[in-house]
Structure 1
Amino acid sequence: MNGVRAGASGSPVLLLHGIGGSSASFESQVDVLARRHRVFAWDAPGYGGSADPARADLGWFAEVAARVFDEPAHVVGVSWGGVIATRLALEHPVLSLTLADSTRGSGTSADSARRMRARVDELAQVGAQEFARRRAPRLTTDPATLVKVEATMARVRLPGYRAAAESMAATDHGPVLGRIAVPTLVVVGADDRVTGVEESRLLAREIPGARLRVIGGGHAANQERPEEFNDVLLGFLSEVEAARCA
């Protein structure tokens, strides 16, 4: 599994990117987190330098993610990465769960699933660069962040994106959110036009004990507002660590 590793000590933190991202999506988080933790920002199967996926179901992605560390980790997932993180928390031991601009999955309705699968056809028809040019402006309105988001999305590969989209289209975690039994933080950009603030409110409401933080920025809030995002995340992780040691 390819990705970016940093940090020599502390509890592990696993960073899971969105469907149009890669480990590069966490360039503003890795070094900050590595001051206190051992960090791995993965390239999901089919993304970045990682091999193409063997399967297209969410449980398999979660199983692969669970093998990154040989011990439970704090899991931080953005968008699709948050859906993987949710399944990871449901099926494997984790220290905590952070869902950033995420969702229950795209299987909440037939129309939502259809629209997710249609993205694959669009990518196949127009190619990654044009696909990124069309979709990246939905993730952020900040010019500097837009350049980064579009450049990362322009490197997506069809096999990885197809598997990711299918895993999303087949998933609705809504009925099982109440089973999550780890400390959970839900973070969302106030201007998120992709998954939206209300979806994050639902996640926070349905996950027992979860807290919600609305910060600045859009769907790519961790990249658009890194200082605000990092402060919220580090504060949450510090609280979880303090409770573990109490």
Structure 2
Amino acid sequence: MTGPITPIASITPLASIAPALHVEEAGSDGPLLLCLHGIGSSSAAFAPQLAELSAYVRVVAWDAPGYAKSADPEGPLDLDGFADAAASLIRERGASAHVLGVSWGGVIALRLAVRHPDLVDSLIVADSSAGSGTDPAKAAAMRQRAAELAELGPRAFAERRGPRLVSPDAPPGLVGRVVDTMAASVRLPGYAYAAESMAGADLRPEIPAITAPALVLCGDQDRVTGVEASQAIAGALHRAAYVIVKDAGHLANQERPEAFNAWVLSHLRITARIPERP
């Protein structure tokens, strides 16, 4: 279980945590928006945000260490290690960032805000939770995923898991894109490190210490973490708005990008004072 810690000012250089970290970037002006994907995904998940939000802010979406086009980390990473990698990425590109995390990315974002509050201007946490360590059965199931990936291989693993990430009425094309993205993104050992970081995380004691303003969103048909987990995050934060995204599953940012982006823009207009129009 992850326990409360004191925020730290210095971190290990990014190159020693995750050499050759790949990012997708769009937009050259405005505040930095760092996008952290879910455990079965990559920067490709943020194509709608890179395309639309980059007219207002500088959007950077990573492939987490050990995922997609990013190199494998030099050793095992826990949740703090992934958070520190994100912190290094922010420092390489500026003084601070607004951080958007989906699912596992949301857990990393919350941990980042605790460890490095000076780097986080605001949080957007979508379809996420306080970690799988909140429940022994969830933690055990999360740890089992690495063995499942090893047994099935990335394509069959993605075909088994991908369809559940969207709502039952999602367009078939979206299901195919989600499966293709997962198949191209997950591999060992990176996925195993990510799964263990989730299995060992219970951020419930830490979330109330976060001072950054936050927007918490969740698809109304999220069958993975569910609306209750997002409600618990929003309720524990000091400054948070909570939004249900209608007709969306676990990947609300991909399934309902227009509505999702509109809420993010509304949040950024308040926290980053971006203009109504670019």
Residue 190 (structure 1) aligned to one of 194, 203, 220 = 220
1:155-208 Cα distance to aligned partner (Å, 9 max, x none): 211211101001001100011110010100100000000000011011000111
Question: In structure 1, what is the equivalent of residue 175 of structure 2?
Answer: 146
Q: CA deviation at 1:69?
A: 2.4
Give the counterpart letter for 1:13 in structure 2.
L
SS at match of 1:242: coil
In structure 2, the residue matched to 1:55 is 76
Q: Which residue of 2 aligns with 1:204?
A: 234
- 1:47 match: secondary structure: coil
Aligned residues: 243
- Secondary structure of the equivalent of 2:138? helix
Instruction: Give the Cα separation in 2 of the matches to 1:221 and 1:33.
Output: 15
Separation (CA, whole Å) in 2 of partners of 1:33 and 1:55: 33
Letter in 1 for 2:129: T
Choose the corresponding residue for 1:16, options 36, 40, 45.
36
Moved over 6 A (4+): none
Take 1:108 and 1:56, find their aligned partners in 2: how far apart are those partners? 20
What's the CA shift string for 1:140-163, capped at 9, x where partnerless? 131221111100111211211101
Does 2:229 align with 1:229? no
Residue by residue over 1:61-117, the C-alpha shift from the partner in whole angstroms, topping out at 9 and shown as x without a partner, is 000101112211000000000000001111112100010000101111221110000
Distance in structure 2 (CA, Å) of the matches to 1:91 and 1:168 = 17
CA offsets, 1:109-142, max 9 Å, x none?
Answer: 2211100001111111111111111101110131
Residue of 169, 173, 187 corresponding to 1:157: 187
Counterpart of 2:51?
A: 31
Q: Tell me how far apart the structure 2 counterparts of residues 221 and 144 of structure 1 sit (CA, whole Å).
A: 15
Q: CA deviation at 1:39?
A: 1.3
Task: Work out whether 1:121 is the aligned partner of 2:142.
Answer: no
Q: Counterpart of 2:132 in 1: which secondary structure?
A: coil
Using the alignment, how far apart are the partners of 1:200 and 1:67 within structure 2?
27
CA distance in 1, matches of 2:60, 2:239: 26
Q: Give the structure-1-normalised TM-score.
A: 0.96
The one-letter code sitting in structure 1 at the alignment partner of 2:114 is L
Unpaired runs of 5+ residues, structure 1, are none
**Under a length normalisation based on structure 2, what TM-score does the superposition of the two structures give?**
0.85
In 2, distance between residues paired with 1:102 and 1:235? 20
Distance in structure 2 (CA, Å) of the matches to 1:180 and 1:17: 21
Q: Is residue 110 from structure 1 mapped to residue 136 from structure 2 by the alignment?
A: yes
Which letter does structure 2 place at the counterpart of 1:151?
A: D
User: What is the identity, as a one-letter code, of the residue corresponding to 1:233?
Assistant: V
Task: Tell me how far apart the structure 2 counterparts of residues 184 and 197 of structure 1 sit (CA, whole Å).
Answer: 16
d(CA) in 2 for partners of 1:106 and 1:13?
Answer: 26
- 1:175 aligned counterpart, secondary structure: coil
Distance 2:153 2:273 in 1: 47
